[in-house]
Amino acid sequence: MFDLPLITDPLFYALAIPAVLMVGITKTGIGGSNALGVSLMSFAITVPQATAILLPILCLCDLFGLWVFRGKWDWRNLKILIPGATVGMLIGTFTFRYLDGAVVKALVGGVSIWFAVAQFLPMIRKKEIVPSGTNVVKGNICGAVAGFTSFISHAGQPPYSIYMIPQRLDKEIFLGTTAFFFAYVNYFKLVPFWWLGQLNLSNVATSFALMPLVPVGLAIGWWIQRRLSPAMFYKVVLVLLGLTGVKLIVDSAIELL
């Protein structure tokens, strides 16, 4: 009988189970970053291995997002973001073995906190927020950074949000565009991850063992998301974005010390 080479460490599963549940919850569009799942799992395994194990799980979650928000995406933004993301992921592919993940986390975390505070203050002061429009230069840059940071540690949400949140799109359009963008990013990453040896039999087998948790996380996230008004939705997204930034900086400091 053929036994799959699953990870057997109990500590890993004690961390991986809540990590996968969080991934499912964030994939419904509530906010936050899948880097939180990577960070949690990295207490038991390396960051590259945690990133690889979560990738097939993210791809499964993406199918849910594409189905629920089918047709509710903004092509104007996707045409700007996707080329940049492709470039960012290609850079990540060829620099993956040489990158210091801790430095990348610190940079993304710092920008995330700054952006969340800058966007949240006008809400507290009840100052009228004028939605921005699409911007090719900003979109290409944010798309490239999102593709790069997503490739390194699934931390693409903060740079993506920096471009998308100021537009204050309709809630459903924002969620649909997010679902489409990250589905493209995650499925693109499958080939370079395989090429880099990250999708080995042990990692893939462990991913499949954790997949039954995905519907549970999605159900929890969907229940929460459907009860948020558009105004509250953006506030929650910004708060989680800021907390993600804090978490990334803390993880970076721990790794560098």
pLDDT value of position 193: 95
Give first-to-last CA distance, the chain, whole Å.
45
The span from the CA of 140 to the CA of 121, in Å, is 26
pLDDT value of position 2: 47
**Those residues with Cβ within 8 angstroms of residue 234's Cβ, 6 or more apart along the chain or in another chain:** 123, 165, 168
pLDDT value of position 163: 92
Instruction: Report DSSP state, residue 15.
Output: H
The radius of gyration of the chain from alpha carbons, rounded to an integer in Å, stands at 17
Instruction: Report DSSP state, residue 131.
Output: P
What percent of the chain is helix, strand and coil (3-state, nearest 5)? Answer: 80, 0, 20
pLDDT value of position 109: 73
163-215 pLDDT tens trace: 998 898 888 899 899 999 999 999 999 999 999 999 999 899 999 999 999 99
Structure-token pair, residue 20: 């996968």
- 24 CB neighbour count, 10 Å cutoff: 24
pLDDT value of position 122: 64
Residue 33 DSSP SS3 = coil
pLDDT value of position 1: 41
Q: For residue 190, with 0-12 CB atoms within 10 Å meaning exposed, 13-18 middle and 19 or more buried, which class applies?
A: middle
- Of 4, 18, 20, 5, give the one whose Cα is nearest residue 57: 20
Residues in the chain: 257
pLDDT value of position 33: 60
Q: Would you list the DSSP string of 172-184? A: HHHHHHHHHHHHH
- 30 CB neighbour count, 10 Å cutoff: 18
Per-residue model confidence as pLDDT tens for the chain (257 residues): 445 677 778 888 988 998 898 888 877 766 556 666 777 777 778 778 888 999 999 999 999 889 988 889 999 999 999 999 999 999 999 988 777 667 767 776 776 677 677 767 666 666 555 677 889 999 999 999 999 988 987 878 888 988 998 898 888 899 899 999 999 999 999 999 999 999 999 899 999 999 999 999 888 888 877 777 766 766 776 777 677 778 778 877 877 77
Check if the beta carbon of residue 210 is closer than 8 Å to that of residue 58.
Answer: no
H helix and E strand count, the chain: 11, 0
pLDDT value of position 31: 59
**Those residues with Cβ within 8 angstroms of residue 226's Cβ, 6 or more apart along the chain or in another chain:** none
Residue 239 DSSP SS3 = helix
* Torsion angle, alpha carbons of 143, 179, 215, 246, to 10: 40
